Amino acid sequence: MTTKILSFGEALIDFLSNGAIQTGELETFTKFPGGAPANVAVAAALLGGDSHFVGQVGDDAFGHFLKSELEGYGVKTDAMLMTKEAKTALAFVSLDETGERSFEFYRNPSADMLFASDDFQSSWFESDQGVFHTCSNTLTDDNITAATMAGMALAKEANWVVSVDVNLRANLWPNNEVDSERVIQWMQAADVVKASLEELSVLASDPFELIKASLENEVAVFVLTDGGNPVRYYTLAGEGEVQTPTVAVKDTTAAGDAFVGGLLYQLAEQAGDRASIQSLTADQLHAIIRFAVACGADSVTRLGAYPSLPNLAQVEARLAQI
């Protein structure tokens, strides 16, 4: 039986810089489909997963473009809503000489933020196995936080795996101030957490104490990234790491989302319910993280969000380097 993957949150337009600002020339921006949960949905679909996007866009030209693009990449959009109450969110993404990004968001309010708790349908969670995924961009106001927690509750009731990617974007929060308590509460309600060391340093003075506390709550697997350093992962039973390969970096826009898409795809294949997450062996978990690392490493060799995400053949080729 195919395990369903539901990625909840924002789908938006990434306007990606040509980088000309570094040379003194006119900077221009090219339209790409984006938004972290949408990127994750595409990443999982390209790998062969039963991938669904859950969220809301504006009933406008950008919203229809995003729906079409998601479907073109194999993502099911039966749980994708449209509204005339607000426009589709936009993000302008500038790159430095190493491919690192800076963001300027046009999102407050935007259509994705108007998704409400009662917009979730229990029928979306009817299959026996599934993975429900969110990121912290759906915690930036009370309404979308309530919706996020409602979706997580429905997933838990269905015995699905709940995954979160911390993915902090301070400039999405009121006054650029992340509500650390809210993020930690959400994070520790998940089964699987992916975060960067930089993000955890924003949330707590001791990131590793936060990981330990999370594992002592409901989190079964905590995955820690740190740029090009090895990816570390933690469970109550132990820890491990996977080295990241050296690649020619063109754009890091979707690297984390490619990683998460690979992680969710593997979890859906090997542990599609909450009990199975708890019983993963050390070898199984290492193989899952290694696959996710290959996904992230391959994506940075291409520009854009969706267009950079790898298919299964590309990931298998990249695995030979890890």
Domain residue limits, the chain: 4-319
**CA pair distance 249, 19, nearest whole angstrom:** 14
Residue 71: is its pLDDT beyond 60? yes
Confidence of residue 14 (pLDDT cuts 50, 70, 90): confident
Q: Using pLDDT thresholds of 50, 70 and 90, give the confidence band for residue 299.
A: very high
% the chain with pLDDT above 90: 79
Convert the pLDDT of each residue in 75-122 to its tens digit.
999 999 999 999 999 988 876 666 566 788 898 789 999 999 999 999
User: What are the CA-CA distances from residue 88 to residues 101, 109, 216 (Å)?
Assistant: 21, 9, 39
The model's pLDDT over 155-197, given as tens digits with 9 standing for 90+, comes to 999 999 999 999 999 989 999 999 999 999 999 999 999 999 9
* Residue 315: predicted pLDDT: 97
pLDDT greater than 60 at residue 22: no
pLDDT at 97: 66
Question: How far is it, in rounded angstroms, from Cα 74 to Cα 43?
Answer: 10
pLDDT value of position 196: 97
Gap between the Cα atoms of 61 and 49, Å rounded: 28
For the segment 233-261, the average pLDDT, to the nearest whole number, is 93
Per residue in 262-283, pLDDT tens?
A: 999 999 999 889 999 989 999 9
If you average pLDDT over every residue of the chain, what do you get?
A: 93
Query: Domain spanning 4-319 has what CATH number?
Result: 3.40.1190.20
Q: How confident is the model at residue 23 (pLDDT cuts 50, 70, 90)?
A: low
Give the pLDDT confidence score for residue 8 in this predicted structure: 98
Give, as one character, the DSSP assignment of residue 89.
Answer: P
The single-letter code of the amino acid at 292 is A
Cβ contacts of residue 146 below 8 Å, gap of 6+? 116, 117
As a whole-number percent, the residues of the chain with pLDDT over 70 amount to 96
Sequence-distant (6+) residues with CB within 8 A of 245 are 293, 294, 297, 318, 321, 322
Q: 240: which strand partners?
A: 233
Output the pLDDT for position 105: 87
Non-local (6+) Cβ contacts of 270 within 8 A are 276, 280, 284, 288
pLDDT in tens, 139-155: 999 999 999 999 999 99
| Burial class of residue 279, CB neighbours in 10 A (0-12, 13-18, 19+) | exposed
| Nearest C-alpha neighbor of 33 from the set 13, 49, 50, 48 | 13
**Over 60: is that where the pLDDT of 21 sits?**
no
CA distance 27 to 93: 11
Q: In this model, does residue 221 exceed pLDDT 90? A: yes
Say if CB 28 and CB 18 are below 8 A apart.
yes
Q: Which residues contact 208 (CB under 8 A, 6 or more apart)?
A: none
